[in-house]
A and B are shown apart, each in its own frame.
Chain A
Amino acid sequence: MSVTTLSSPALAQRQPNWLVRLFDYKPFLIVMCLAPALGLLAVFLTYPLGLGVWLAFTDTTIGRRGIFVGLENFQYLLTDPLWWNAVFYSVFYTAVATFGKFALGFWLALLLNNHFPFKSLLRAIVLLPWIVPTVLSALAFWWIYDPQFSIISYLMVDVLHWRSNNIDFLGSPWPARFSLIAANIWRGIPFVAISLLAGLQTISPSLYEAAMLDGASAWQRFRYITFPMMMPILAIVMTFSIIFTFTDFQLVYAITRGGPVNSTHLLATLAFQRGIAGGELGEGAAIAVSMIPFLVFATLFSYFGLARRKWQQGEAND
């Protein structure tokens, strides 16, 4: 057997060039792979968020550069009854709408989890309110709630003769607040129902069979199997639902623009009203920033309160 020895120039030729060697260097490769994602995050998330936070500490208005004013915007908001009103309604809106969406969505998911004819078609239909653009559903509700031409008033007054005058859905604060919550629940149910339905389908039927053999009632099967098993997905879906509801904008702005008498302003609509329509970019940004603690609290509550393992596996298994 003969051994051929390569000459040194040939060896040099087969050496990988510096670029190849650079990409073979693991730390560099990691940085390069992460860079696009980090770049996207920086451009589309960090920069707008950072700019928003910065604006909240300035007195910038539309058409005029602002200067740093420290906490002045926040101090003003603490004295502003409208901001307090928006805080109250944002929390109330989120709490009631989320409760409504979960109660009805969970119920709907349980129904859809059964076997019945045209199951797929019905599931697709349930998704419709979620698929329709929000502003379109808002316009539909705007007509439904119209003080003169509401279809509900028409049915009540002209068809069924249950009332003598039209229902004033949006003309006074509390009816307007609940009307918006109803619209939000209608729109949000599909998201909850379909998400929970996906969770329901991951529960092993053998658990229910074993429970039935032990003589568990329907309520006991729900209480001790369905509900604990669903808790992780409930926590996730609730977190998202709270965030979506708390930051809702389109429904409120299209239907009431925060009226009547500013009673239906959410923090998001008030931020837009002050920042864009009113031109007070700094104050608008401060209102938007003031939403962050509520959102962080809601997220932490969902995560630590609902996703703990002891909910699923017994008190001792935290």
Chain B
Amino acid sequence: MRNDITRRDALALGLSAATIAATGAAAQTSNIKAADVAAPKREIEKGASLRMLRPVRFVQADEDVFRANAAKFSKETGVEVKVDFVGWEDINQQTAVTSNSGAGPDIIIGFSDAPHIYVDKLIELTDVADYLGKRYGGWLPLAQRYGKKNKSDAWIGLPFGATAGPLIYRKSVLQSVGFDKVPEDHAGVVDLCRKLHKAGKPAGFALGNAKGDGNGFANWALWSHNASLLDEEGNVTINSKETIAALNWVKELYPTFIAGTPSWNDVSNNRAYSSQEISLTANGVSLYFSLKNDPATKAIAEDSEHQLLPKGLAKVSPMAGLTLNAMVFKHSPYPNAAKAFLQYMMEKDQYEPWLNANSGYWSQPLGAYADAAVWSQDPKVRLFKDTMNSTYYDGYKGPISTATGAVSADYVLIQMCASVATGAATPEAAAAEAEQRCKRYFRRQR
């Protein structure tokens, strides 16, 4: 998918209000408070034009408003912006090629840890981040974690938002087996899932090579037992007694799942939930919206509730949001224009309509945007507001690096859980194998 926005296009499009109205994200009275902070002074390069890559939208309005905002920028500054939308699975490869070849887009919005992988090829965005942070109530914890270079205050990425994967369940089914909500303790979760299984409406969590949902479940299982991939110093600590406890819990839980979860990918749980085969899973808000917007499944949406992932032994719900993270490459001939563009897109006049148009799919990285109208429109979506307040992230508790992303991309933790769940390995053997693989990835990181 490709769109080249030129000055002419921008004039034709006019202000984004028309597009925003067309997407249903009607202009609303803003509650966002912006502090009076002077914007950093920079001169946009003469004749500048920008190329940008970003992941394809899940919610149509995401793309519509994003394009309209970019067109507005073109109109106001004269900088042409070409935005390409690419598949989620392709963005890493395209970023790698851009990074290695030193050519291609000026800006790429990748995911979560991407700037940490390509840190040597990126320009710092500290001035932009400092300004936005001061103006909009400060950066939330997850944004700081993914945006800043390890152990420094230098910003190498500019987080745009994050999507979460909390629990979604059928209220009526849970009530029919004696629960109002999902318990916060591990034994309670097993008890509930057993009863759901007995009632013929089981739970189902992805244990297949699913980038989002599979990793989400594996991380939850580990973090809620206070297990982690790394310690604070970056040592691999996956083979621990906490991990063994988590794997034993997964082994106990797995027989309560619907059959086939070791082969599930990222859409499998959506389909199983939509067809009422399961009554409990973990997913982003997109599942709820697809149910709500289809008359055939609206009743399921009305009977559905979201809940943060159970804490287990953790102090807070252990859930990391998948974060959109913008990078500007050193090979860009127009770094000032790129910075100006990112800053412009995060300003209230552009960002708030975009956030609202996403209906909760992306949540804000800056504190002030918590007051956006989107969070008060549907109580079932409100829970997503705090996604970026999470203190959990890929690679928790250690420093983010190339290897943390690789462990997730190689499904190491999912396979560890799946091998124990299916009886292919003992918890001890699975943890030892995962440790071997993780150490391989982390051998150069320290």
Contacts and interface: CB of A to CB of B under 8 A. Distances in A.
B209 A63 contact: no
A168 B259 contact: yes
A277 B208 contact: no
A100 interface: no
Given A168-B259, A171-B262, A257 B209 contact: yes
B91 to A, nearest CB: 12
Question: Which A-B residue pairs are the 5 nearest by beta carbons?
Answer: A147-B260, A260-B262, A170-B263, A257-B209, A278-B410
Interface string A257-290: 1111111000000000110111110010000000
Interface string A60-81: 0111100000000000100111
A173 B421 CA distance: 13
A169 B437 CA distance: 28
Contact of B259 (A64, A145, A166, A279): A166
A63 B117 contact: yes
B202 to A, nearest CB: 11
A172 B262 contact: yes
A256 interface: yes
Contacts of B258: 147-148
B424 interface: yes
Contact of B96 (A63, A258, A260, A262): A63
A165 interface: yes
A275 to B, nearest CB: 11
A256 B209 CA distance: 8
Contact of A148 (B277, B415, B418): B277
A171 B259 contact: yes
Given A59-B444, A62-B96, A63-B96, 19 more contacts: A61-B444, A63-B121, A64-B402, A76-B440, A146-B260, A146-B268, A147-B260, A147-B263, A148-B260, A148-B271, A166-B260, A171-B262, A256-B263, A259-B208, A262-B415, A278-B409, A279-B96, A279-B406, A279-B409
Contact of B406 (A59, A82, A171, A280): A280
Interface of A: 59, 61-64, 76, 79-82, 145-149, 165-166, 168-173, 176, 256-263, 273-274, 276-280, 283
Interface in B386-408: 402, 405-406
Contact of A172 (B96, B118, B409, B422): B422
Contacts of A278: 406, 409-410, 441
A261 B414 CA distance: 8
B324 to A, nearest CB: 19
Contacts of A260: 207-208, 262-263, 418, 422
10 contacts: A62-B117, A63-B99, A147-B259, A166-B260, A169-B263, A171-B260, A257-B265, A259-B208, A261-B419, A262-B415
A27 B409 CA distance: 54
Contacts, number: 115
B402 A61 contact: yes
Contacts of B152: none
B262 to A, nearest CB: 4
B407 to A, nearest CB: 8
B262 A62 contact: no
A306 B194 CA distance: 58
B263 A148 contact: no
Contact of B262 (A82, A261, A277, A279): A261
A261 B272 contact: no
Given A260-B207, A279-B406, A170 B100 contact: no
Contact of A280 (B207, B260, B263, B441): B441
A194 B440 CA distance: 47
B261 A171 contact: yes
A173 B262 CA distance: 10
Place the interface of chain B in its size category: 35 or more
Nearest to B209: A257
Question: Chain A at the B interface: mostly helix, strand, loop or mixed?
Answer: loop
Contacts of B209: 256-259
Nearest to B207: A260
Given A76-B440, A259-B209, A279 B405 contact: yes
Interface in B247-286: 258-265, 268, 271-272, 275, 277
Contacts of B272: 148
B422 A261 contact: yes
Contacts of A148: 258, 260, 268, 271-272, 275, 277
B415 A261 contact: yes
Contact of B263 (A59, A63, A259): A259
B184 interface: no
A259 B259 contact: no
Nearest to B277: A148
A79 B433 CA distance: 11
B29 interface: no
Contacts of B117: 62-63, 279
B230 to A, nearest CB: 17
A80 B436 CA distance: 9
B402 A279 contact: yes
Nearest to B121: A63
A274 B403 CA distance: 12
Nearest to A165: B259
A168 B262 CA distance: 10
Nearest to A149: B271
Contact of B418 (A59, A79, A261): A261
Contacts of A165: 259
Contacts of B261: 147, 171
Contacts of A170: 260, 262-263
Instruction: Name the residue among B99, B405, B410 with the largest chain A CB count within 10 angstroms.
Output: B410
B417 to A, nearest CB: 10
B93 interface: yes
Contacts of A79: 436
Contacts of A59: 444
Nearest to A262: B415
A277 B410 contact: yes
A224 B410 CA distance: 53
Interface string B126-137: 000000000000
A79 B99 CA distance: 32
Contacts of A262: 415, 419
Contact of A259 (B99, B275, B418, B433): B418
Contacts of B419: 261-262
Contacts of B433: 81
Interface in B306-356: none
Contacts of B208: 256-257, 259-260
B402 A273 contact: no
